[in-house]
Amino acid sequence: MNHMEERMIKIQEFPSRSLNNTREINIYIPSSYYGSTEESYPVLYMHDGQNIFDGERAYAGVGWSVHEVLDELVERGMIRELIIVGIDNMQKDRLSEYAHTNSRFKRERIKGKGKLYERFLIEELKPFIDSNFRTLSGPENAGLMGSSMGGLVTFNIGFRNPHVFGRLGIISPSFWWGTRANLKTVDMNQDAIINSRIWIDMGTKEGGLDRSFDSVVERILSKCDGSKENIEAHWIMGAGHTELDWQRRVHWPLIHLFGLE
């Protein structure tokens, strides 16, 4: 087994009772993991697992290379070592699983299964990771990150469960999906705004996909204590809605969420 292989552990068919399906999970292990049996690590769970690593299975053939970015940041002493859990999307059920509310997309009615996906993460996947790997407990050591609909589901799960996930990377979120529900989620879940570390961003060249971004972010910022610096919200100049755009800036949310002081 070569060095890279043992750092990427693949589970081909991880079952979910909540969703009644199976999917591939890829787990990236820190370089120091095998050298010490004492050390435990924070965990970052990432949606759209096909897109976040090398790009071989990515939507457009380009991945985020998040494992390489992480290793470089660790080497530079800018960030803690992490375990990254890449959770594959279910392709035809992707929109449904990443949505907490029903909506329409391209004239098709989509039933939101986001609460079931939330249960899968919290009751099935996370307990498996925590019992099989040396992980640090507590929300400050559990992150959630995704882009587009993956950004929306990160927002919903993170705001609803700040006692589970206290580090949220909400990248190019699809806040246009259920705008009123999203504003209500902000209003009803003050704990996340007070206690979680949150990164939210949107590119200036994402077209209509940035609809409702300002209204949801302004609602969040209106309720946060600016002196705590736990929330960062950014417009990214010139960035579009592609895996390459997200690859180019994933170091920013990583540093904000898990950076060394």
pLDDT in tens, 72-110: 999 999 999 999 999 999 999 999 999 999 877 777 888
CB-based burial of residue 44 (10 Å sphere; 0-12 exposed, 13-18 middle, 19+ buried)?
buried
pLDDT at 220: 97
Q: What is the pLDDT of residues 194-236, one digit of tens each?
A: 999 999 999 999 999 999 999 999 999 999 988 889 999 999 9
Question: Strands (DSSP E) along 106-225, which ranges?
Answer: 108-110, 142-147, 167-171, 197-203
- Report in angstroms the alpha-carbon separations of 113 from 173, 181, 225: 17, 15, 32
Q: What is the pLDDT of residues 3-33, one digit of tens each?
A: 444 899 999 999 999 999 999 999 999 999 9
Q: Which residues contact 131 (CB under 8 A, 6 or more apart)?
A: none
Give all domains of the chain, ordered by start, each with its CATH number.
3-258 (3.40.50.1820)
Question: Strands (DSSP E) along the chain, which ranges?
Answer: 8-16, 21-28, 43-46, 83-87, 103-105, 108-110, 142-147, 167-171, 197-203, 231-236
pLDDT at 103: 79
pTM equals: 0.95
Q: What is the pLDDT of residues 110-160, one digit of tens each?
A: 899 999 999 999 999 999 999 999 999 999 999 999 999 999 999 999 999
Q: What is the pLDDT of residues 40-68, one digit of tens each?
A: 999 999 999 999 998 788 777 789 999 99
**Residue 256 corresponds to which tokens in the numbers above?**
């904000």
Q: For residue 106, give the amino acid letter.
A: K
pLDDT at 104: 77
Of the candidates 259, 200, 250, 208, which has an alpha carbon nearest to the alpha carbon of residue 224? 200
